[in-house]
Amino acid sequence: MSGEQDVRPDLRAIREAAARIAPWIHRTPVMTCAALDERAGARLFFKCENLQRVGAFKMRGASNAVFSLSDEEVRNGVATHSSGNHAQALARAARNRGVAAHIVMPDNAPAVKRAAVAGYGGRIVPCAPTLAARESTLWEVVAQTGAAFVHPYDDHRIIAGQGTAALELLEEIPDLDAVVAPVGGGGLASGTALAVHGLAPRVRVVAAEPRNADDAFRSLREGRIVPSEDPRTVADGLRTSLGVRNFAILREHLDRVILASEEAIVAAMRLLWERAKLVVEPSGAVPLAALLEDAGELRARRIGVILSGGNVDLDRLPWGPAPATGRSGG
């Protein structure tokens, strides 16, 4: 990424991203569910990014990054390391632009996500499931191919793209009191913070995080990035720690981080399937989980909730009854 492009996006940049990616993404619906409102004691407006192309908001950022690159920059394709939705999104966005995508994936990534990347024409480069292995493999790939690296979250074009979800949400439901987004690396959370700050500065911006991977909570409290070490959470999309650009934006524009237990995440995910009829992955259920556990001053408010994604292995659902034999047989 060239230095001159690396400028923190403002509302105008997010609007430009929205126009740039419009042909390549769904404008996702905003859903309400009386049963969930009753449980939460609040009025919830779900921005259904699980219904987004490739099943996650990541399509927004990846599309903005891929279509922001010049013909020269993108000539040898794009590359990234990702165990999940960014991988699928970048592969799909690259196919849309007609260039190659080299995706470094840990060899323990869910089969459903590997199959999806391959289905979108991405070239999968396996690596050991450590951050060091991911990064070294990625740089080998970039050196060999000349592909442009698109970081999953610590990238201002990615952040601007992810901010378009909150932009659409606020355009459709302007009178919200707060918007809650899950936070892992912070691409969605920081994009949401910038969009809300730019469009409706009186609306609070809240990030939701698994209690077992609470690096954003601790980082913002301590005023420096405090990475999670080996976080154990069912919310596989949120095991990543905050990126540098993401932290800087959240530090300035985030009102609060709310936390969710593992039990609450699974219960919230199941509620979304059972009552809202939406297939949402564990990471996408974290905001509802945190609101159900600890709404605090958000109770009785009108809250936008970004359901970030819906990519789940249907053979490995996190609720019972599923005896160990059944799971290992999958």
Which residues of this chain interact with a second copy, rule CB under 8 A?
26, 29, 31-32, 34-35, 50-51, 53, 55, 112, 119, 270, 273-280, 310, 314-315, 317, 319-323, 325-327, 329-330
Q: Which of 58, 83, 113, 283 is catalytic?
A: 58
The nearest distance, CB 150 to a second copy, in angstroms, is 22
CA dihedral (216, 185, 46, 116) positive or negative: negative
The nearest distance, CB 119 to a second copy, in angstroms, is 8
Q: Which of 82, 241, 283, 308 is catalytic?
A: 308
Residue closer to a second copy (CB basis): 227 or 330: 330
C-alpha to C-alpha distances, 92 to 65, 95, 148, 183, 274, nearest whole angstrom: 12, 5, 15, 23, 30
The nearest distance, CB 322 to a second copy, in angstroms, is 6
Residue closer to a second copy (CB basis): 232 or 327: 327
The nearest distance, CB 277 to a second copy, in angstroms, is 4
Task: State the DSSP H helix or E strand holding residue 173, giving kind and residue range, or none if neither.
Answer: none
The nearest distance, CB 105 to a second copy, in angstroms, is 19
Token code pair at residue 321:
């009854």
Token code pair at residue 305:
């909730």
Using DSSP's 3-state secondary structure scheme, residue 316 falls into coil
**What is the distance between the alpha carbons of residues 316 and 330, in angstroms, rounded to a whole number?**
7
**What is the distance between the alpha carbons of residues 68 and 77, in angstroms, rounded to a whole number?**
13
The nearest distance, CB 114 to a second copy, in angstroms, is 14
Is 308 noted as a catalytic residue in this protein? yes
Phi first, then psi: give them for residue 40, nearest 5 degrees.
-85, -20
Residue closer to a second copy (CB basis): 167 or 280: 280
Instruction: Give CA 41 to chain center in angstroms.
Output: 26
Residue closer to a second copy (CB basis): 11 or 112: 112
Residue closer to a second copy (CB basis): 231 or 284: 284
Other C-beta atoms closer than 10 Å to the C-beta of 206 total 26
Task: Give 126's strand partners.
Answer: 105
Q: 85-108 b/e with 16+ CB inside 10 Å = b?
A: bbbbbbbbbbebbebbbbbbbbee
**What is the distance between the alpha carbons of residues 38 and 292, in angstroms, rounded to a whole number?**
10
Residue closer to a second copy (CB basis): 59 or 69: 59
Is 58 noted as a catalytic residue in this protein? yes
Query: Which of the residues are catalytic?
Result: 58, 308
